[in-house]
Chains A and B, each alone.
Chain A
């Protein structure tokens, strides 16, 4: 055995980025095992890597206007008129149609859409629903807690969730008020409302979106209203209330445990 040769920062980066060969990787690993601070840093970097990739992955796509991009015929936000490329649109189209027709063709007709991702829609709608319904005194929900079984069956059916269970938050001091159907991202969604002994309310929103790919857990807050939301497969969940983050997080964890995975 030799050198407890220390590990350079460059090697830590290379480790985080998966560029090391087996031997170096093992060496860095044993270094990290003894240096918790460095280990934390590297694990933060790796987490960053994943978040960055996820954040931009969705932009890798073609647009209907791509052909025009090549022929210089696309107007831009600025005022610069496209000055050039009498490189004729025709020529470009030939190449595109001929050389690429097969594999690129179908992509050309995907809509060039700009829209909110579900992860952006979810907390916003959760907050709105909370603000609208939690303040209702007489009609906060459509189906009250005394019909919990019916509530679960009904909303489960609308959301296509087999065996939807209404989360039980008694352990956190909140009892069910009831629930309602409401649109979430333009599709049927469920809202459950809870209340503690002091009448403080919180809502749990469930929505479905087939295009969901990401899984994320995060807080969003606006004024005093806090939302904790996460996406789990096709389903999105959001817990909203005017309560402490800590409490909200505990409730979110409880819901996460109780909802079907």
Chain B
């Protein structure tokens, strides 16, 4: 989009090809696909998701000193979750959507076409952020309740109540009969 990716002096790159252990950057890079999925599951649009992902990467790079060499993935997820939960105010302040957002809306969600309204996604939008994050960590990202509790620094009871809240809310929203399983008789 904006800049030419190869402004790097590629000569230097080649010379420095020392037997690198898996670097911090490389770990992030390898984690980006799942982080992107998690990011998208927390947010309302592709643009918002990419912004969160970028914030998360920046934050991770800046606080690399705080990573104690333990579970890198959980650490990154924790950063992303916290960034997202804390972003409330700054997002509300953001004046209007940029050009990228407009592109994304047109191609990605076509949110105002009633035909395209994905009910599940809509239902998700009604969840409190905290509950949604717990739901996604458990269901989509596959973390155990205790792992989520550790990651977010909350008691496991809170994890359960958020999970419960999210599930009941989704269930109510989805209840109108719209998605119907068909069975082919054999």
Contacts and interface: CB of A to CB of B under 8 A. Distances in A.
Interface of A: 9-10, 13-14, 17, 19, 41, 44-45, 48-49, 51-53, 55-57, 59-63, 65-79, 84-85, 87-100, 104, 107, 114-116, 120, 123-124, 127, 216-222, 227, 230, 249, 252-253, 256-257, 261
B7 interface: yes
A95 B26 contact: yes
Nearest to A221: B114
Contacts of A99: 20-23, 26
Most buried by B among A74, A98, A261: A98
Contacts of B28: 70
30 contacts: A9-B160, A17-B138, A51-B120, A53-B140, A55-B120, A56-B40, A59-B36, A59-B37, A62-B33, A66-B32, A69-B57, A73-B2, A74-B1, A74-B2, A74-B54, A75-B1, A77-B97, A77-B100, A79-B98, A84-B62, A87-B61, A89-B5, A95-B29, A114-B46, A114-B107, A116-B108, A123-B115, A124-B115, A216-B179, A217-B181
Given A70-B25, A85-B58, A127-B115, 9 more contacts: A10-B160, A17-B138, A62-B32, A68-B5, A77-B47, A77-B97, A92-B25, A116-B108, A222-B113
B160 A67 contact: no
A191 B36 CA distance: 38
A17 B41 CA distance: 18
B115 A114 contact: no
B20 to A, nearest CB: 5
A218 B50 contact: no
Interface stretch (B66-74, B77-85, B163-171): B163-171
A41 B20 CA distance: 51
Contacts of B182: 217, 230, 252-253, 256
Contacts of B62: 84
A115 B174 contact: no
Contact of B171 (A41, A61, A261): A41
B8 interface: yes
A85 B61 contact: yes
B120 to A, nearest CB: 5
A88 B61 CA distance: 12
A51 B139 CA distance: 10
Contacts of B174: 44, 48
B22 A60 contact: no
Contacts of A59: 36-37, 39-41, 49
B180 interface: yes
B53 interface: yes
B65 interface: no
B179 to A, nearest CB: 5
